[in-house]
Amino acid sequence: MIVALLSLAVLSAATQATSAKPLVVLPVRLDGYVMAVQGTIATESLWFDLDTGGLHTIIDTAAAKALRLPTAGSQQVGGAGKGAVAALKLRPFNIRLQDVTFHPSDPLAVDLSQAGSAVGARGLLGFDFFSQYVVGFNYDLNTVSLYNPATYHYDGTGRRIPLVIRPPRAFVTVIVSVPGVAPERHLLRLDTGSSDSVDDDIILRSMEPKRTVTGGVGIGTRFRTDLGTISSLQIGPYILHSNLVSATGGVQLIGGQVWHRFNIVFDFSRSCMYLEPRRGLK
């Protein structure tokens, strides 16, 4: 699949210049298009996907039991699949990320064995993580930088993109079009935990043929979904053209197949993110 990134100046993004010193810079492994970092609970090291679409910080049930994390009841939780699955509420605990200690709010234990992880991720850091820190994704260097929101100031070359924060979710306004449908302004979920590109039911009105497949890898059950293509996607001043595969019937979102084309700083405290197009990407 060829995705052309047009109507933008190609900027050098080997580093993200900021006037604030990071609290920590973490090495990353890619879980598909999803950033994954290693953290420690007690003495156990686990891989965590960084998921702006995650409503909670989640630990795999088997890992939570092995760590003997105390529970505090149960609830149902949804994800990329249809319906909801059983989850255990966990009492507060700490996750060490090198020199930073993250305190999840309302963490859950969920069976992640069918979530389709490529790196053996045993958890995900969700909305509460992105709310506690300014988080910088650098796909060129395969690093994630965490900053203190109180002292952070962006001084890079990227463009500021407003976000709509509706805890525990974050959204971005984009302009999408499909063959036979004029461009429309849509509010889509910001979802770094998905490796999809753009999932938007606008393709149901497309003049192009669609194909039906089984979708919903992640939390929840699989479901039948129609696949089509987005003709163009505009995020702020940046326009992506051609062959952005889109799925229907699930969460309307923008996922990692789009986000990995930028180096990004997420600043939920100021309801924005900064996008720097990566050098040489098409």
Residues 44 and 128 in one domain: yes
Residues 28 and 95 in one domain: yes
DSSP character at residue 195: -
Residues 121 and 226 in one domain: no
3 state DSSP class of 67: coil
pLDDT of residue 120: 66
Is 92 part of any domain? Answer: yes
Which among 79, 76, 154, 142 is positioned nearest to 114, based on CA atoms? 79
pLDDT band (50, 70, 90) for residue 210: confident
Average pLDDT over residues 148-174: 97
Is 282 part of any domain? Answer: no
Residues 172 and 139 in one domain: no
Residues 117 and 177 in one domain: no
pLDDT of residue 213: 72
Q: Which of 147, 180, 208 is the last residue of a domain?
A: 147
SS (H, E, C) 11-41: CCCCCCCECCCCCEEEECEEECCEEEEEEEE
> Which segment of 50-64, 157-171, 240-254 scores lowest on mean pLDDT?
240-254
3 state DSSP class of 142: coil
Q: How many domains does the chain have?
A: 2
DSSP character at residue 82: B
Q: Which residue has the higher pLDDT, 217 or 146?
A: 146
Cβ–Cβ < 8 Å for 191, 53: yes
248 has a pLDDT exceeding 70: yes
Is 131 part of any domain? Answer: yes
Alpha carbon distances (Å) from 112 to 86, 116, 124, 125, 188: 11, 8, 10, 13, 25
pLDDT band (50, 70, 90) for residue 42: very high
Q: Which of 126, 147, 168 is the last residue of a domain?
A: 147
pTM of the model: 0.87
pLDDT of residue 258: 96
| pLDDT more than 70, % of the chain | 84
Residues 50 and 93 in one domain: yes
Is 110 part of any domain? Answer: yes
Which among 146, 55, 61, 144 is positioned nearest to 102, based on CA atoms? 146
Cβ–Cβ < 8 Å for 47, 57: no
Residues 172 and 78 in one domain: no
Residues 272 and 194 in one domain: yes
Beta bridge partners of 86: 76
Domain hosting 256: range is 4-14+158-277
Is 115 part of any domain? Answer: yes
Residues 43 and 10 in one domain: no
Is 113 part of any domain? Answer: yes
Residues 45 and 143 in one domain: yes
- Other residues' Cβ atoms within 10 Å of the Cβ of residue 84: 14
Alpha carbon distances (Å) from 116 to 81, 154, 217: 12, 34, 6
- Other residues' Cβ atoms within 10 Å of the Cβ of residue 68: 7
> Which segment of 42-46, 128-132, 203-207, 221-225 scores lowest on mean pLDDT?
221-225
Residues 137 and 197 in one domain: no
Is 152 part of any domain? Answer: no
Cβ–Cβ < 8 Å for 10, 278: no
Q: Which of 103, 124, 147 is the last residue of a domain?
A: 147
CATH of the domain at 60: 2.40.70.10
